[in-house]
Chain A
Amino acid sequence: MDEQFNFRKKYRNILLTIAAAGLVLTVISILIQTYGASRIWANVLLNNQYFMGIALGGAFFVAVHRVALSGWHTVLQRLPDAMTAFLPVAFILMLLIYFGMNHIYAWANFEGHNEVLEEKKAWLNIPFFFIRMIVYFSGWIALTWLMRRSSDTLMTSSEMKYQNQRRLFACLFLVFYAITVSTSSWDWIMSVDPLWFSTVFGWYVFISMFVTSLAFITLLIWLLKRLGYLRVVREDHVHDLGILLFSFSIFWTYLWFAQYELIWYGHLPEETTYYITRLKDFKPLFFINLGINFVVPFFGLIRFRSKRQLGWVAIIAIFLLAGHWLDYWLMIMPGAVGEKAGIGILEVFMTVVYASVFIFIVLRSLSVGPLVVKNDPFIKESLTYES
């Protein structure tokens, strides 16, 4: 029970070496290839959004279970809590987008005449864009920090006052997140195609965040078990994670289809541009996206037994992590870069840099404090949980 994750120097060095090597290779690939500034900046945006989404999805995971007074997740609660430690870094990286605004967003510094863009100017202008960014991140960082701290308080005191306080923070986070996840996805992703709009877009991005986050939690459990930790996490807990992965992958498909079907039926030029650009130049990727994010988890996790085997769920989780990266790619790249977009060494190396930094921060945050919460009011329920 008194497990403490030891983030050994060896692991730290491996991760930092991968990050450094990836960074060097990214720079080299930028120098030897003529990618153009927009592709480089779009990659920064893509990876910021992707890893920030994993961190935010973790906070959502904890908050939603806390509001529902659920107990099963308590043994693995420290993992999503640790993931939220990436949010301040994501904030700084997102602010860097300031220098790439002209290369990604057509509405930034738009000169000329376009009625739609002039109407949208009240929302889409550079000062307000960054004011909103600061509001989102300060809200997310503050509320996740309060949620983490109130859990730490409960390790020493189990007074009802603190339990209610912790639940209150979770409620506040959910409300704030529900609004900001929509508006932030309009700001950062949907405005890449500034003339296009979709009302379901916020949910769609939110599901991508939650699925990647669940997949990352599963992989983290697998990794920690390989290193000999987290013996208290049994196949009953893995089963519930598998159910969530399965059902939210189906929900992702539902939203994907809801967006596609209505635009396909309506056949309005200002709406169909989004799909036309994606189907014209990136047809294989467009359908691979649907295959990885729906067909693989649907048939991979439909059986009772397959949801309970950590190794198998981890394999599906790797597919989903790759699939949702591709999903974000399809949302951002065709709009920001155009037909020159592609998945080349730049994309791979930059994602490797981000991933190793992300894992480094998560593991470092995990090594502070116990791996399984102590004295939590729900910990006994979680330890004896049967699904």
Chain B
Amino acid sequence: MSCFLLALAALAWGQAPPAASLTGVVLDDATGAPVPRTVVTIRTSGSTEDAVAWSDASGAFAFSPIPPETYSLDARHAGYETARFTLPLAPGEERRLVVRIRAVGSISGTVSDADGDPVLHASVELLPAANRSGPLHRSVAHVTTDDRGRYHLQGIRPGRYLLVAFSHEHPPGLSVTTVGQPAEELASGLQFYPKSDRLSAAAPITLGPRQDLDGFDFRLVPQPATSVEGSVILPPTTAPDTPVYVRALSEDTIGFGGSSQVAVNRADGSFHLQGLLWGRYVVDTDLTARGRGYHGMERVEAGQEPGRVTIRLDPLAEVPGAVRIAGGTGGLPQHLRIRLVPRDPVFQLMNLDPEAEVGADGAFRFESLPPGAWAVEPAGLPEGWYLESARLGDLDVLAANMPVSPGTNAALDIVLGAQGAVLEGGSKPAAHILLAPAGPLANLLSRYYTTTSDAAGLFKISGIAPGAYRLYAFDRLDAEPGEYPDLVRSLGDSGESVELAAGSHTSRQVGPVSTAPLEEAK
């Protein structure tokens, strides 16, 4: 606020605000060595203007003088992950940055069939080994094999991964067929590394910085296919011409290797899903009848014997809600949305991410929510805003998930805060700073804040949601954001305890902690 007043005062006197300066050094995150010839670009918030600097032999770069503004910065160098962050600069501020960039690596191998012939155009997907955004492993990189059956996943950040390969293109199982005789049906070949047809038996691969791993080979053998058959009990209000579809998603392969969808026979409600791999499936269907949404879902196992299932459709829940601002003053930000992230892996598989627009009066409405557990997340929040509380009726759904059932009859009350706290401090130079929520919100990823201290060891985090935190400094931080809660738990009572009030400005010193690798922490 004082910066704003200062700027205003300067304008009032007809003067430009004093310029800021930005200098820095680019370091290899793993080795600490300077990285020369990095292209560092800063952009003004509206992206109307940019400036470029190259790091020199000592990794140093400089932009000065530049108008005080909020910039976005990116640092690019071949063989490294591009580092990006937002950088607010106050009038007259002389910022000395340390930019740590992470060298990437690659994973290669070959996909072949039962005879050792290469499988061309096979898909290979890279999944994080740790759960990041929830219970599900979402693919972070995808390639297809070349004309030798080789694949090469590159530009991969160091970490622990799972690999899965599959191919839909496989030759028919027979070389001779006779009209009228049933053909043997094969399902796609699929394999998790190493040699497993299900996620639960996949083994993680550890990729280090600048490491090129090879020999992660797959052998895809198309399997005899199975099927799932059954019927759907439709609500009596369903119009006779409404098309109804049923789909099957493999729980063993979390949907990789293909899902299957088929239309329901409206005469008797029956369906028959074919060409499936053996294993466990989630079979679901949804429809709208007389303006009301319905959803039905069952789990089934299919193998030698086809899976059999009857699906009953339940009405979807309607959840209205309202957004307020803490303290009750000021307008809501524009383009604000409320997003519900499914906690049930099956809904994540289905890419179900319901979102509701928030009106100018703060009202929103989810019209058709399937039963399950959801995490509440605002989207489109301006810099410095945060989710202060979320309640479904009397239930706190910020620290815990929001349970929804067909009978849910409560409103979602969301309070946003705009008066973020500021934490400034000192540590050793180029340290990774982590501010972690303490107490019941320890699992709330949006309450974790990270930054890097500058060449003088100084750091600043703004827009922090008020509350109790622990502050840590690390020489190295290999954990992914989704792993922060586990990391912090493993550190016990170390770190500085900090209590931050709304709009407060706090200073703290923090000594570096050497990180235990996360594998040991678990």
> Are A and B co-members of a single complex?
no
Residues in B lying within 8 Å of A, measured CB to CB: none
